[in-house]
């Protein structure tokens, strides 16, 4: 695997006379060299003989480092071909993968969906794979699948593929999960909070990163958890990418096919930078990639350690994360909407209508600055959230349902994609200024605001992007004063 892309490795097995030995060459790492022990036991315990000769395994191309346990099965089948147990001579048009257990059983594997996609792309005719991974592989069409549970079954599948496929039970995919999120996460449950709801609708419509600031109990977490449900459903290619990432991370449950809902990831603030952005010896995707095409929610954002937050900057800019290793660089997609929530100060009650704040102005200022300037610059919207008094909680009615909000979000997105081929959150610099037309009154208002508020260049761009999205929600061609005025309310300086 390279990130979520796969390439084929040729496994050659030679059995020749000589002292009994079993060597693997072709840049195998420790995990591949260990496969010798598993292969030997699995072959014996499946009722075959392990040759008392010199066995040499070569993994080609030799300059590519091989890692992981998925080479067990092709190595074992190569040995059995050399001893005559696999009778089919040419298996080079089928991709083989799987980790063996000592008794000859086969464990489920990571990354089967991207491997299946690569096999199809490289014109292999079939894929022999662990049975638990059958559902995800079946997403790729035009590939004959041989989902096996044991080494003995794999031998049977290769020797008589027609009989094996005929005897295979039908695949019953679990119902594709409802295209929207569970009904227990609907915006209809949120009382009041008109401003925060509106901000999150704008954020969803333009794909804007958003920071909610407010006292404990004001509903920040509750509302953030409802954002994925107002985003449009994934299109097929997005679903493929999302499922591939989860597959490579080993987070796809057995029997699971395509993931069709937008991911929502909410890592705890004690998370390490590797777990957040990905990494490790054999690089694995982190939370930001698991949130690809969905929402990354950082609750209590000021409590995350500064270095952990800083590693977010590059992926936020580029929509992917690059992990450098000695011999190569691996990239994982990481295009997500960031939602942050934090208290306004250490005690949490600065600006609260009822509870007094116990913090000094210095403490409040320091708390803010736990998010670095560059990171705050990447948050397009900033939303002050105030707690709803308890009596209003029951009195004020629940709001619009997520389905209604999502319909508006989808309309606004269609307008953006037709005009720019991208969401407004992605517009920058010259493209942004070139594409966003302000009417004359809005232009005067913006000039006045620029001098009065001393907006930075990035602040200026943020306001423009958000105003463009508000105009799109309003189905307006040009940005008017009402759109701009609302955008200025959400500016985060």
Ligand X SMILES: Nc1ncnc2c1ncn2[C@@H]1O[C@H](COP(=O)(O)OP(=O)(O)O)[C@@H](O)[C@H]1O
Residues near ligand X, by CB under 6 A:
189-193, 214, 216-222, 341, 388, 393
Q: Is residue 266 at the binding interface for Mg ion, with CB under 5 A as the rule? A: no
Between CA 136 and CA 242 the distance in angstroms is 12
Q: What is the nearest approach in angstroms of ligand X to the Cβ of residue 269?
A: 13
126 versus 219: smaller Cβ distance to ligand X: 219
Q: Are the C-beta atoms of 285 and 244 separated by less than 8 Å?
A: no
- Least gap, CB of 300 to Mg ion (angstroms): 7
Residue pair 285/332 in contact (Cβ under 8 Å)? The answer is yes
Work out whether 481 is an interface residue with Mg ion (CB under 5 A).
no
Q: Does 489 bind Mg ion (CB under 5 A)?
A: no
Q: How far is the CB of 341 from Mg ion (least distance, A)?
A: 6
Cβ nearer to ligand X, comparing 44 with 198? 198
Residue 221 interacts with Mg ion (CB under 5 A): yes or no: yes
- The conformation of residue 279, written as its DSSP 8-state character, comes to E
Q: In the bound complex, what is the minimum distance in angstroms from residue 492's beta carbon to ligand X?
A: 18
Nearer to ligand X, 4 or 341 (CB): 341
Q: Which residues contact 388 (CB under 8 A, 6 or more apart)?
A: 191, 192, 193, 218, 219, 396
44: helix, strand or coil: helix
**Cis? peptide before 61, omega within 30° of 0:** yes
What is the closest distance, in whole angstroms, from the C-beta atom of residue 392 to ligand X in the complex? 8
> Which of 31, 9, 32, 3 is CA-nearest to residue 114?
3
Q: Report in angstroms how near the CB of residue 468 gets to ligand X at its nearest.
A: 28
Cα separation, 203 vs 205, in Å, equals 5
Q: How near is the Cβ of 491 to Mg ion at its closest, in Å?
A: 24
Give SS3 for 121: helix
Measured distance CA(474)–CA(97) in Å, rounded: 52
**Quick one: which of 222, 256, 257 has its CA closest to 388?**
222
Of 175 and 184, nearer to ligand X (C-beta) is 184
- Closest to ligand X by CB, 319 vs 398, is 398
How far, in Å, are 233, 262, 400 from residue 406 at the CA level? 10, 13, 10
> Please, which residue, 45 or 221, has the CB nearer to Mg ion?
221
Cβ atoms < 10 Å from Cβ of 281: 10
Nearer to ligand X, 155 or 341 (CB): 341
Choose the one of Mg ion, ligand X, none that binds residue 465, judging by a C-beta under 5 to 8 angstroms depending on kind: none
Which stretch, 217-225, 242-250, 345-353, 432-440, contacts Mg ion (CB under 5 A)? 217-225
Residue numbers at the binding site for Mg ion (CB under 5 A)? 221
């Amino acid at each position: 695997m390279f990130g979520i892309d796969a390439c084929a490795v040729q496994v050659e097995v030679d059995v020749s006379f000589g002292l009994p030995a079993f060597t693997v060459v072709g840049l195998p790492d420790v995990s591949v060299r260990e496969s010798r022990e598993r292969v030997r036991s699995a072959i014996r315990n499946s009722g075959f003989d392990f040759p008392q000769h010199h066995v040499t395994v070569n993994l080609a191309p030799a300059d590519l480092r091989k890692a992981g346990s998925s080479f067990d099965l092709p190595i074992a089948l190569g040995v059995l071909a050399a001893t005559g147990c696999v009778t089919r001579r040419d298996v080079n048009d089928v991709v083989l993968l799987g980790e063996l257990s000592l008794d000859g059983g086969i464990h489920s594997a990571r990354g089967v969906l991207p491997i299946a996609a690569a096999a199809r792309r490289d014109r292999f005719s079939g894929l022999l794979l662990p049975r638990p991974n059958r559902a995800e592989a079946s997403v790729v069409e035009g590939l004959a699948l041989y989902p096996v549970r044991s080494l003995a079954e794999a031998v049977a599948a290769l020797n008589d593929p027609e009989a094996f496929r005929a005897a295979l039970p039908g695949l019953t995919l679990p119902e594709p999960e409802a295209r929207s999120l569970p009904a227990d996460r609907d915006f209809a449950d949120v009382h009041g909070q008109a401003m925060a709801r509106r901000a999150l609708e704008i954020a969803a419509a333009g794909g804007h990163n958003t920071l909610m600031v407010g006292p404990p109990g004001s509903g920040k977490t509750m509302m953030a958890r409802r954002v994925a449900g107002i985003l449009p459903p994934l299109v097929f290619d997005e679903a493929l990418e999302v499922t591939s990432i989860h597959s490579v991370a080993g987070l796809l449950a057995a029997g699971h096919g395509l993931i069709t809902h937008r991911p929502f990831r909410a890592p705890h603030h004690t998370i390490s930078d590797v777990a957040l952005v990905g990494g490790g010896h054999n690089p694995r995707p982190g939370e930001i990639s698991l949130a690809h095409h969905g929402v990354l929610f950082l609750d209590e954002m000021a409590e995350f350690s500064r270095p952990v937050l800083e590693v977010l900057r590059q992926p936020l800019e580029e929509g992917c994360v690059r992990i450098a290793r000695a011999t190569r660089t691996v990239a994982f997609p990481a295009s997500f909407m960031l939602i942050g929530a934090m208290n306004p100060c250490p005690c949490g009650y600065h600006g609260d209508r009822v509870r007094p704040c116990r913090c000094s102005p210095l403490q409040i200022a320091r708390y803010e600055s736990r998010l670095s300037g560059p990171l705050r610059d990447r948050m397009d919207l900033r939303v002050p959230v105030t707690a709803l008094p308890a009596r209003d909680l029951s009195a004020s009615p629940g709001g619009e349902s997520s389905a209604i909000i999502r319909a508006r979000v989808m309309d606004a997105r269609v307008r953006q994609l037709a005009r720019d081929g991208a969401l407004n959150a992605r517009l920058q610099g010259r493209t942004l200024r070139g594409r966003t037309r302000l009417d004359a009154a809005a232009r005067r208002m913006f000039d006045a605001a620029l001098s009065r508020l001393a907006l930075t260049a990035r602040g200026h761009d943020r306001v423009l992007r958000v105003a463009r999205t508000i105009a799109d929600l309003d189905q307006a061609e040009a940005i008017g004063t009402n759109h701009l005025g609302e955008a200025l309310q959400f500016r985060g300086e």
